[in-house]
DNA sequence: GAATAATCGACCGTTTAGTTCCAAATAGTT
DNA sequence: AACTATTTGGAACTAAACGGTCGATTATTC
């Protein structure tokens, strides 16, 4: 029973890779089982359905992302640099945790209820994080904002706007530079002159 | 009728990308059709089956590879450098033309007759190219070989040996350096001291 | 050696995907 | 405009694939 949980994690890890390569639809239980050197039916001893595995994968990736972002936030750097790093980590993590990313942004998966929940959860978390950064920025005099809650919402909306066109086109060189440029635009309306 | 051929090429181009992303099996006619903004059944006006499209894709990629390699061979560089470039172009092209690559090396596709044909064709072509390079190398005194035909066979066998382990593991940085190192090993038995 | 945990092959019902067919749309010709 | 040839795609067919179940079987634990 201790081992059972451990093996569930193994399944999540393996499935994460396969899902991220082929997507939910094209990934088969047989493949997941084969990756773990088990029979297909054995997998059902640990999870009740493919969907449940996917859900666990999303949860896992969300956790990873949250940890990465939290680490950035904790830094004692100045708020502007933190926000900058926050955006970059967010983008890079999404690249890795592509299932979570697709869950949040892909319309193909709309029919899963837990996806919608996850989206809301993600939004709330992100807004809270951003708000915290902004709040610290205001307190230290780096940022110039009246209502950090509202501002956090606005920043997140802007980030989402940057994000999509960035992912639809080829992930080529110079992505960091472009990211910086876009963040700059965001900043110069925020940073105290 | 002129346009028909043009559109067949469009299908090949589009399918090449999809096949290379998802493989033959996971690629659906619907996806191919959607990529070309056509109904699924319209594709059958141009090709008789999914397999036939795949075959055309392989042929196309083989042609591209052959051209790339031929260009290298034609260079007036010294034979050693040519052979070196040949190997690199070969490896890099394979990365791009992954359908052809998979057709040649993947065991999942063994059941297609035309794959076997393609393999043989590729082998013959490659041996001829290598032999030509070796022959020029011998003539110019760079290489030290009795029977270039036999030597070409040996070199190709060696290349195949390098190739697979190189592809199974992560395509990470330093691949060029490792390639050079491996080629060196091959060379020091060939190049005249 | 019984009891429990874990694995697996065979099977089922449903869905998917390759392919065919045909009618409709479109383009080309006279 | 009428007629023909080319091109398209919706609907239907069929075989295969897939998610999931079940009962039997094999490890493992006590």
Query: DSSP letter string over A2-44?
Result: HHHHHHHHHHHHHHHHHHHHHHHHH--HHHHHHHTT--HHHHT
Helix (H) or strand (E) holding B150: helix B148-168
Q: Check CB contact of A26 with chain B, cutoff 8 Å.
A: yes
Mean of the per-residue pLDDT values of chain A: 80
B103-130 per-position pLDDT tens digit: 665 555 556 667 777 778 888 888 899 8
Task: Quote the pLDDT of residue A38.
Answer: 95
Instruction: Tell the residue number behind the tokens 């390079």, with chain if given.
Output: B133
* Whether B42 CB is under 7 Å from strand C: no
CB A8 within 8 A of CB A47: yes
pLDDT of residue A79: 85
Percent of chain B at pLDDT > 70 equals: 72
Q: Establish if B22 touches chain A: CB-CB under 8 angstroms.
A: yes
The neighbouring-strand residues paired with B143 are B191
Residue with tokens 């390639």: B179
DSSP reduced 3-state for A73 = helix
Contact B101, B42 (CB under 8 A): no
Spell out the SS3 assignment of A47-113.
CCCHHHHHHHHHHHHHHHHHHHHHHHHHCCCCHHHHHHHHHHHHHHHHHHCHHHHHHHHCHHHCCCH
Q: Distance between alpha carbon A4 and the CA centroid of its chain, in Å?
A: 27
Render pLDDT for A16-35 as a digit per residue (tens, 0 to 9): 999 988 889 999 999 999 99
CA A39 / C1′ C1 distance in Å = 28
At A51-77, the pLDDT tens digits run 999 999 989 988 988 899 889 999 888
Q: Which two tokens stand for residue B83?
A: 């052979």
CA B15 to C1' D6, in angstroms, rounded, equals 23
Which residues, listed in sequence order, are joined to residue A191 by a DSSP beta bridge? Answer: A143
8 A C-beta contact, residue B175 and residue B166: yes
pLDDT tens figures, A179-192: 666 566 566 656 65
Measured CA to CA, the distance from residue B162 to residue B174 in angstroms comes to 15
pTM above 0.85, yes or no: no
Q: How far is the CA of B32 from the C1' of C24 (A)?
A: 23
Question: How many Cβ pairs closer than 8 A exist between chain A and B?
Answer: 4
* Whole-number Å distance between alpha carbons of A153 and B72: 56
- CA B18 to chain A, closest CA, distance in angstroms equals 12
């Amino acid at each position: 029973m201790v081992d059972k949980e451990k093996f569930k994690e193994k399944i999540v890890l393996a499935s994460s890779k396969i899902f991220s390569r082929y997507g939910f639809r094209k990934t088969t239980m047989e493949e997941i089982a084969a990756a773990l050197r088990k029979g297909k039916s054995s997998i059902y001893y640990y999870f009740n359905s493919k969907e449940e595995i996917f859900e666990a994968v999303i949860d896992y990736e969300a956790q990873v992302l949250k940890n990465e972002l939290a680490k950035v936030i904790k830094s004692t750097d100045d708020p502007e640099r933190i926000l900058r790093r926050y955006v970059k980590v967010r983008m890079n993590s999404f690249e890795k945790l592509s299932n979570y990313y697709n869950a949040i942004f892909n319309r193909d998966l709309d029919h899963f209820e837990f996806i919608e929940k996850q989206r809301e959860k993600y939004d709330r978390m992100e807004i809270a994080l951003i708000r915290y950064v902004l709040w610290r920025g205001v307190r230290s005099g780096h940022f110039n904002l009246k209502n950090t809650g509202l501002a956090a919402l606005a920043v997140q909306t802007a980030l989402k706007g940057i994000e999509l066109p960035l992912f639809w086109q080829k992930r080529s060189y110079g992505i960091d530079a472009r990211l910086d440029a876009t963040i700059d635009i965001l900043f110069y309306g925020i940073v105290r002159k």
